Every structure is written in structure tokens, then in C-alpha cells.
Homo-oligomer: A and B are copies of this chain.
Amino acid sequence: MPSDLRIALIHYPVLGRDGKIVSSAVTNLDIHDIARTARTYNIKRYYIVTNLPAQQDVVRTVLHYWINGYGRKHNFSRTQALELVELRSYLEDVIESIESETGKKPIMMFTSARKSENTITFEMARRMIRTSDAPVLVLFGTSWGLPEEIKQLCQYTLEPIRYGSDYNHLSVRAAAAIIIDRLVGEEGGTKS
């Protein structure tokens, strides 16, 4: 049974600077960078989750340019990466897509710079991805991170990166790269 690892980048609901729930803007480089990382590590799908129509249009425009437009000729490696992207309005839509595609509910993993009760190590998560017959979906937050209400939907929380450091303000692009590398490493990845 090949492993089935997927990721989602959440723009709503996420925390704002003051801890309130906001809907963040899509960043072009989040689409590209994380798609390139996902493709390098054979991630099966990269869901971009935003509920705002204008932000959805930004994502569609980028995808159209690189998949159907001039970008395909200009730099085909971007096309290959961006073909992994699927746009969804809400996390619930992502879960529904995975269920209807695979017939299984995904195991969901929350990521955060803070520790919590249901935290598992990268080694445990890595083993789970390799042995589970359900898809594993890792969630990444934009803005100031993922809120409690998303954590409630997740079975597990991944341990923070560099928890002992006095500074923990990685960009989501860097955090996603490090987490995916720790989960997949040199050999693994979705094979089918």
C-alpha cells in the first residue's frame, strides 16, 4: 500500500495578529514555493483553502497561467508543481474531496509553533504515514497560524519545529518545507 500524503494551506479560518479569526490574503509565492516542495517530495495533493472569491480568483489566475497558459512553455517545472494544487473554499470541502476520491476519511494533523496535549513526534507521524491505509492530511496556517477550532477537527498535532529555540517565527513556506522533509525524507513519498 503506497502512502498517501496531502497538505492544505489554510487562509480561513486563521488567527490575526490580535488572536481574532481572520481570512488572510493569498500570497503568490506560497502557491509556488509550497507546490514545488510538494512535487519534490511526491505529495499527492496540495489544497489551497480560501473562502474569499477575489482570493480564489488570484489562485485560479496563477494556476491558469502556469497550467494552460504561457507559463507551461516558459518553465514546465512550475507546471508540474502547480498541477498538484486544488483550490477549495473550506477545509470541509477538502475532507469531502479526499473522501470521495479515496473512499476514506483522512487522518488530519495540525501544525503549530506551540505544543499541545495531542502532540506527536515527527518520527511517529512518519511511521503513521508509511503504514496507514488512510490518506494523511497535514494542515498549514497562514497569517498568525491555525486556530483552536481547526485543531478540534484534527486527530494529531505535530510537535513544533525547534521548540527549544528562543525564536520561532519561520515563514509558512520554510515551515512547510522543513515539516515535509522531516515527514518524507530522502526516500519516501506518495508513489502511486
Contacts and interface: CB of A to CB of B under 8 A. Distances in A.
A105 interface: no
B170 A171 contact: no
Nearest to A185: B162
A161 interface: yes
Interface stretch (A4-12, A32-40, A52-60): A32-40
A25 to B, nearest CB: 14
B181 A163 contact: no
A136 B173 CA distance: 25
Given A171-B173, A178-B178, A161 B40 contact: yes
A51 interface: no
Contact of A80 (B167, B174, B177): B167
Contacts of A81: 167, 169
Contact of A186 (B37, B80, B164, B167): B164
Interface size class of A (residues with CB under 8 A): 20 to 34
Residue among A32, A170, A176 with most chain B CB within 10 A: A170
B181 A164 contact: no
A165 interface: yes
Interface in A121-137: none
Nearest to A80: B167
A73 interface: no
Contacts of A162: 40-41, 186
A182 interface: yes
A40 B167 contact: yes
B174 A37 contact: yes
Q: 4 tightest CB-CB pairs across the interface, nearest first?
A: A174-B177, A77-B169, A33-B171, A177-B177
